[in-house]
């Protein structure tokens, strides 16, 4: 599981080289940062990204960059397991097992 603190610190200290992007699995963006690191533009952008990473809640961070089996619900971050969640047959997103409607694509689900 990726850590918000690690990502934030990487963005703050090595952000100009795109290290936080590599850490977050955004390889293409990381390479762009690396190629343009001599302009110091990536360093400036990364500084602001570090601030955004630090003010993000852990739940928001996990939902955006973390393990895809963690999903945001109105009551907070939920670890989806085979017991509680199923994959939507239409969009392959995780939905609560007894849901009648996919919250991602809106397709009708038959509870199992």
Q: Which residues of 32-61 are buried (b: 16+ CB within 10 A; e: fewer)?
A: ebbeebeeeebbebbeebbeebeebeebeb
Write the interaction track for Zn ion spanning residues 69-88; mark x where CB under 5 A is met and - where it is not: -------------------x
Stretch that binds Zn ion, among 3-11, 17-25, 51-59, 91-99 (CB under 5 A): 91-99
Distance in Å, CB of 110 to Zn ion, minimum: 13
Nearest distance from residue 69's CB to Zn ion, in Å? 16
Question: Per rule CB under 5 A, is residue 105 in the interface with Zn ion?
Answer: yes
Q: Are the C-beta atoms of residues 73 and 80 closer than 8 Å to each other?
A: no
Q: What sign results for the dihedral spanned by CA atoms 57, 63, 66, 71? A: positive
Min CB(95)–Zn ion separation in Å: 7
């Amino acid at each position: 599981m990726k850590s918000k603190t690690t990502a934030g610190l990487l963005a703050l200290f090595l952000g100009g080289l795109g290290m936080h992007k590599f850490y977050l699995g955004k390889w293409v963006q990381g390479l762009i940062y690396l190629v343009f690191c001599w302009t110091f533009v990536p360093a400036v952008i990364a500084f602001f990204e570090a601030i955004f990473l630090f003010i993000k809640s852990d739940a928001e961070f996990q939902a955006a960059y973390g393990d895809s089996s963690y999903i945001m619900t109105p009551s907070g971050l939920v670890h989806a397991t085979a017991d509680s969640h199923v994959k939507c047959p239409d969009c392959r997103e995780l939905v609560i097992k007894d849901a009648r409607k996919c919250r991602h694509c809106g397709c009708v689900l038959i509870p199992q």
